[in-house]
Amino acid sequence: MKLAVVGATGLVGTEILEVLAEHNFPYDELLLVASERSVGKQIEYKSKKHTVIGLAEAVAAKPEIAIFSAGGSTSLEWAPKFAEVGTFVIDNSSAWRMDPSKKLVVPEINSKEITATDKIIANPNCSTIQMVLALEPLRQRYGIKRIVVSTYQSVTGTGKAAVDQMMAEREGRTPDMVYPHKIDMNVLPHIDVFQPNGYTKEEMKMINETKKIFSDDTIKVTATTVRVPTMGGHSEAVNVEFKEDFDLVEVRSLLESAPGVIVQDDPANFIYPMPITAHKKDEVFVGRLRRDESQANTLNMWIVADNLRKGAATNAVQIAEYLVEKGLV
């Protein structure tokens, strides 16, 4: 089986390669694909040197699976070309997420929706993935009426240039500015571009993707997404109103038994999820579980995950693993 990683030299592409190795993903031939400026570059991976190839050469090789992390415009142009030669494309960009003909997949929730004809499969937004994964067992038990989420998102979500800006500021050097303001020692209530309704594109992604993944347009969602000067993880304060009342002991039990979720909720001993401890982990961490005393049937929770892992690379690799497991490739 041929496996292509498109955008292999970027932050997420590098993480995808790490996750593939850790998961012992089965392939016979690995194609590392990047933009023209990286073609010919040598990358050592699993004690073997690989030469980076271009997109046209990768399409000609007809890989069974191509994991894309190369930006929306690249995905819009090239994903259909891979699909035409029979490749399953798993795309990390926002290009296909809200396309009604494409599946938006978090494997623990809705992988069963994937069929042999779904040649382009969308990976959800990083901040959406961790939230819906933690909410899914509770949604199944109590039903969800409304979600209010505020995020605290790592600079790694923007990419290497944003990390370089923050570290230059931290070290007193003049940075190449990725953000409109300084990010170190600061907080920016602004992720992606502002929309006519006053929300950012990131906030609207969380609203729209949540409804699509849950296949439920009746759920009301509102979001405020914020960039903070951390690396290695996104954090979220989530307030969720259920259709039915809940028991906190049962909530904890449901979360503890949910695949891909780890409960860290012992405030007496200062145990709660943090991005620094979620770094390089595949799971989603949940804590600060408490009843909202201002409103009936409402829970407050704190959700943290490594945005380059479950928020991107791990989720994509898990989709690829599902394709293999079900004999679709």
pLDDT of the residue at 82: 98
CA distance 82 to 85: 5
Residue 177 banded pLDDT, cuts 50, 70, 90: very high
Note the Cα 110 to chain centre separation in Å.
Answer: 15
Residue 200 banded pLDDT, cuts 50, 70, 90: very high
Specify the DSSP element, H or E, that contains 300: strand 298-305
What are the φ/ψ torsions at residue 263 (nearest 5 degrees)? -90, 125
Active site residues: 126, 234
- Mean pLDDT (whole number) for 215-227: 98
Residue 1 banded pLDDT, cuts 50, 70, 90: very high
Residues 6+ apart with CB under 8 A from 17: 5, 8, 32, 45
β-sheet bridge partners, residue 147: 221, 240
Determine the Cα angle at 80 with ends 133 and 159, to 5°.
Answer: 50
CA distance 78 to 305: 30
- Mean pLDDT (whole number) for 100-104: 98
- Mean pLDDT (whole number) for 112-117: 97
Of residues 72, 67, 100, the one with CA closest to residue 82: 67
Percent of the chain with pLDDT over 70: 100
- Tokens standing for 98? 């809200």
| Contact assessment for residue 183 and residue 229, using Cβ atoms and an 8 Å cutoff | yes
pLDDT of the residue at 232: 83
pLDDT of the residue at 161: 95
Residue ranges of the annotated binding site for substrate are 153, 227
Q: What are the CA-CA distances from residue 90 to residues 26, 42, 82, 295 (Å)?
A: 16, 24, 11, 40
| DSSP β-ladder status, 261-263 and 284-291 | parallel
Residues 6+ apart with CB under 8 A from 176: 161, 164, 165, 168
| Residue 151: CA count within 13 A, CB half-sphere | 33
The domains of the chain are located at 2-123+312-326, 127-154+187-305
> What digits encode the pLDDT tens for the residues 27-77?
999 999 998 889 999 999 999 999 999 999 999 999 999 999 998 999 999
Class of the CATH-defined domain 127-154+187-305 = alpha beta
CATH code of domain 2-123+312-326: 3.40.50.720
pLDDT of the residue at 57: 96
The sign of the dihedral angle between the CA atoms of 93, 195, 275, 261 is negative
Residues 6+ apart with CB under 8 A from 77: none
Specify the DSSP element, H or E, that contains 280: none
Q: What are the CA-CA distances from residue 186 to residues 25, 76, 167, 199, 309 (Å)?
A: 40, 34, 13, 20, 25
Of residues 13, 12, 11, the one with CA closest to residue 3: 13
- Considering the entire predicted model, what is its pTM? 0.96
> What digits encode the pLDDT tens for the residues 261-284?
999 999 999 999 999 999 999 999
> What digits encode the pLDDT tens for the residues 118-171?
999 999 999 999 999 999 999 999 999 999 999 999 999 999 999 999 999 999
Residue ranges of the annotated binding site are 9-12, 37-38, 97, 153, 227, 307
| Contact assessment for residue 93 and residue 110, using Cβ atoms and an 8 Å cutoff | no
- Tokens standing for 192? 């992606």
